[in-house]
């Protein structure tokens, strides 16, 4: 017990005086009043001296003598907006297919699988593509189906239904193919969560 008091007394003797601290203190009568009313008179205010801790001062350096560190190309302002550098939101953008695009795909096919019997070669083909695009923008899919009902038969399945998502099951004929979700793409047979009906 007495050893604790001795250690506390030694700790107070090791306290640094206010004159040795680099802090702003009151002077004159206010210092005497502060010492009289303070719990620990040797405790400083904690406000650092500006001349001591702000050297060189903020405005002392000439602005032309200092070069800001710039990282190229991230720090280059020209043609470098934030949305291009934002890696957190760089998810794939959604794409849309309008009715005019669908009419063009059903009429003349795509670049990967063109309909050779319909699509013309050369400048006539370019004019045909422009005409198909204008037709799709004016009438849409309804006008195409009213004009030519066989254009969609190549896209639909055997039963006249639209195609299912990518089929994992391989079958000899398209009619034998059955679309099923496996355990990798869907829920397993024994689902871990309880289901209430």
Tens place of pLDDT per residue across the chain (197 aa): 677 767 776 766 666 776 667 788 888 999 999 999 999 888 888 887 776 666 677 778 787 887 777 777 777 778 888 888 888 888 877 888 888 888 888 888 887 877 777 778 888 888 888 888 888 888 888 888 888 777 777 777 777 777 666 655 566 565 656 666 666 666 666 766 665 55
Taking alpha carbons only, the member of 38, 41, 39 closest to residue 15 is 41
Measured at the alpha carbon of residue 145, what is the angle toward residues 100 and 151, in degrees to the nearest 5? Answer: 85
On whether residue 90 sits in a domain, the answer given is no
On whether residue 160 sits in a domain, the answer given is no
On whether residue 29 sits in a domain, the answer given is yes
On whether residue 80 sits in a domain, the answer given is no
On whether residue 67 sits in a domain, the answer given is no
How far is 126 from 133, CA to CA, in rounded Å? 11
Q: N- to C-terminal Cα distance for the chain?
A: 71
In DSSP notation, 160-190 reads SPPPPS---S--SSTTT------TTTS--SS
Total structural domains within the chain? 2
Range 48-63 burial, b when 16+ CB lie within 10 A, else e: eeeeeeeeeeeeeeee
Q: How many CB atoms lie within 10 A of CB 107?
A: 21
CA distance readout (Å), 95 to 4, 28, 112, 136: 76, 77, 18, 19
Domain hosting 109: range is: 99-150
């Amino acid at each position: 017990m007495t050893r604790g008091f001795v250690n506390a007394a030694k700790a107070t003797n090791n306290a640094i005086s206010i004159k040795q601290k680099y802090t702003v203190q009151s002077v004159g009568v206010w210092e005497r009043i502060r010492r009289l009313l303070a719990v620990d008179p040797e405790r400083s205010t904690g406000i650092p001296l500006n001349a001591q801790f702000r050297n060189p001062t903020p405005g002392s350096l000439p602005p032309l003598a200092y070069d800001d560190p710039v990282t190229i190309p991230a720090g280059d302002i020209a043609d470098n907006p934030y949305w291009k550098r934002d890696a957190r939101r760089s998810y794939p953008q959604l794409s849309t297919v309008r009715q005019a695009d669908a009419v063009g795909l059903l009429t003349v096919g795509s670049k990967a699988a063109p309909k050779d019997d319909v699509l013309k070669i050369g400048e006539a083909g370019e004019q045909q593509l422009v005409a198909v695009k204008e037709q799709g923008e004016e009438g849409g899919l309804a006008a195409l189906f009213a004009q030519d009902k066989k254009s969609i038969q190549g896209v639909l399945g055997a039963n006249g239904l639209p195609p299912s998502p990518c089929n994992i099951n391989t079958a000899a004929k398209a009619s034998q193919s059955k679309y099923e979700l496996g355990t990798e793409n869907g829920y397993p047979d024994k689902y871990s969560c309880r289901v209430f009906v």
